[in-house]
Structures are given as structure tokens and as C-alpha cells.
Chains A and B, each alone.
Chain A
């Protein structure tokens, strides 16, 4: 079980942060294009999910999976989107993504007066704490499974 990578977007589609841990295959397009592709897909799938839902929507889009990986999604009321790709053995991790938002992003970026919001996060402290947190997760193993 492992974590492949993590994206953090704000409400305008700016990619605030990207980290990867185990990624065997790259997309082959420049990173900027990849972020736009990811954001565009999330935007479309969110509105699709809410329109086509046969029942009243509770949490909205949560995750999708393919035969090789699972993409987990968490969005805050302010439009901050946390996207984590893991392998298939991982169950719902909404609380993990919420922790990344509240204990890492809010604490170390929003509350840091020297971090301008709406841009890629420069804070080294955020980067290193996020890295240690993901590595400490029970479903993260050092060898890609």
C-alpha cells in the first residue's frame, strides 16, 4: 500500500503544492499542463456528480479508482482542493485529507504572514511537515507496493 502523489489547489485553479513519493510513470506533458488537466477534470467531475446524482447529494465527489490507482478528493467550503493518489488497497481517507488541510495548510501557510495566499507555497516548513506526515501514514510503505 502506498501514496503516489498529492496535489493542492485553490479556488482559482492555482496549484499551491505538489509532492510525489512513488510515481513510476509520468504524464509526458509539462507540469503546468498537468496541473491544469487535473484541475479541469476535478471541476467537471464535481459538477457532473452533483447533476447526475439520483439522490440528494451529501458529500459530493469523493474518489475514483482505476485498475491501478485510486484518486481521493477533499474540498473545503473555501474551494481548497486536496487530491491524493494512492494504490488500490487504501480505503476512505477523508480524515487524512482534512488533516492536511487543517493542521498543515491552515496552520503553516494561512497563519504565516510571509506566505502570500493564492500562489505556490514557498514555506519549507510546510513542505517538510507534509512530507513527514504522509510518510507516517499507516498506508504509506517505503517500497512501492
Chain B
């Protein structure tokens, strides 16, 4: 199964979650609030934990870091299985992209793993 198929599935799930999770309509005043929503509410709803760190260059690129990503945590604590790890991140990238899309943001999401179970998701906002 190709990674783009997985990402597509994640996208559809993310779209739905982006629709039904937000509690207050006026909560998102700016882009950063939406990213914070992803790090807190979305992550807690799907993985029962919050994202560990959020960084941005204030120019449309955000890096979300999870130090103990639940899909990787049972696999290894270091470098074993590093090559196969991205397969397990494809769906989650789609999830983030789908949620952002429902909230009106077009983006490109990629993931990288330097050492399990820590992984980083890079969100680049596409300016139309």
C-alpha cells in the first residue's frame, strides 16, 4: 500500500475531526490558534496526549514535535527500525492536513524521525 493512499485516508479522517472537534466557533482568531488546536485538542482526541512542542518561523512554517509518539513507542527506543518508521507517520500527516483543510488552511505536511519514538511533523502553509 503506497504512502499516498495512507495519507489520503488520514486526510479524510482529519477533515471530519476538524469539523466535529472544535468546541467554540470564535476560538480561532489567527493561524497560530489553529496550530495550537492541532497540538492540544486533536492530538488528545486521537492519541490521548498533547504534542510536546510547537515551533514556528512566523512565516507559515510550523514544526510539531512529539517525543513519545504512540505509534512508535512500542517499536524501539533509538535507531532500530528507523527506515520503516515513516510508513507509520503517513496517515498522521494526512490527519493534520485534513484537519487544517476543514479549518480553511491549505498546507503541506511531512514527517521525519531522527530517533524513535520522537518524531517531527512539518506543516508548511500554502499561500494561494
Contact = CB atoms under 8 A, between A and B. Distances in A.
A94 B84 CA distance: 36
Nearest to B85: A114
Interface of A: 107-108, 111-114, 122-125, 128
20 contacts: A107-B74, A108-B74, A111-B74, A112-B75, A113-B75, A113-B88, A114-B75, A114-B84, A123-B75, A124-B76, A124-B77, A124-B78, A124-B80, A125-B74, A125-B75, A125-B76, A125-B77, A125-B78, A125-B80, A128-B77
The size class of the interface chain B forms with chain A is under 10
A111 B84 CA distance: 15
A122 B76 CA distance: 10
Contacts of B77: 124-125, 128
B28 interface: no
B108 to A, nearest CB: 26
B89 to A, nearest CB: 13
B88 A123 contact: no
Nearest to B71: A113
Contact of B80 (A107, A111, A113, A123): A123
Contacts of A113: 75, 88
